[in-house]
Structure 1
């Protein structure tokens, strides 16, 4: 994961908390949910691979553990284990907030994100012949499945609603564009 911590600290007023190295436990490997998160660089999604790579952020009474990012901001775990997105400039323009609720737990996030990636790959599988009604069905199915992962919702899911909107509106990046291909050649 390559989050610009300095930018995050500057934009949101957080400080990075350094913690002492903890002993490694076998359970960290057996129950490592981060290992299920696949990066999707075409849309800036990247994640830590193990819990020891989490970055602790603090601001006044708030405390978060940074575990990933996307084109809209940084994913963090809150004090009650819920997942939030700390919005970057683009995310702030989309959501009109500096922080939005994403999921109730890391487990729900891993499942939601995996469902999102499966929707992306369904779009890729049919890119040359997909009809708009199929696209809308993929988007609706994604939202239904994400909602089913959460207990009766006390909060809305604006992040996932936006991902569904991007699917419906042809806003999901399915391939590297010429700019990315040329940069890889250099």
Structure 2
């Protein structure tokens, strides 16, 4: 579930993003609203810092360089937000991926959900593969990266343009940088790693 720590608030401030961080007033939803809730399709993936809201009333108003957004999630590179035209942007809070303050990600929330689901399908395929040797690991990394690439290309070729967020995630899969298990830092933070 999307939440904001002191580190998140500091990262937002440093990136020049203002956010209205206040507890939402829960809105009672009709059965039709429950069935139409697109945010319920997004699952967190903590190993890479993916966290999402669950309900539409949890959207977080954000501003960056005079532009207004509605934040619905975050990942290791920043925050996912809808602009006024309902396009999905990444509001960047670090320069590991890009120096741009905002990067177009998808045309719509629906396209984002499909893209994210295709990425996660590849990640779960990695989790279930035999990676017992380096040769097997590299073979499966290449295979999954190619499958995700083809699936995203079929969805929308624009998603794979140079510098796109989705091509960055594919690159991370291909090079073995996309965490499929909890990183050692999780063990340290939880006091479970013998130093």
- Category of TM-score, reference length = shorter chain: 0.7 to 0.9
Q: 2:57 & 2:118 partners in 1: Cα distance?
A: 26
Query: What root-mean-square deviation, in Å, do the aligned CA atoms of Structure 1 and Structure 2 show?
Result: 2.7
**Equivalences, count:** 183
Counterpart in 2 of 1:121? 124
Kept in 1: contact 2:86–2:108 (CA 8 A): yes
Which residue, 108, 111, 114 being the options, matches 1:108?
A: 111
Partner of 1:41 in structure 2?
Answer: 46
Structure-to-structure mapping, 1:77-116, within 5 angstroms: 77-89=82-94, 92-116=95-119
TM-score (norm 2): 0.81
Using structure 1 for the length normalisation, give the TM-score.
Answer: 0.84
When residues 9 and 85 of structure 1 are mapped into structure 2, their CA distance, relative to the original with a 3 A threshold, is: same
Q: Does 1:184 align with 2:190?
A: yes
1:2 matches 2:3: yes
Give the superposition deviation at 1:80: 0.8
* 2:33 aligned partner: 28
Can you give the 5+ residue segments of structure 1 that lack an aligned partner in the other structure?
none
Shift of 1:63: 0.9
2:146 corresponds to = 140
Q: Deviation above 4 Å: which 4+ runs of structure 1? A: 17-23
Q: Which moved more, 1:21-30 or 1:156-165?
A: 21-30
Q: CA deviation at 1:21?
A: 5.2
Tell me by how many angstroms 1:78 deviates: 1.0
Instruction: Report the secondary structure of 1:94's partner residue.
Output: coil
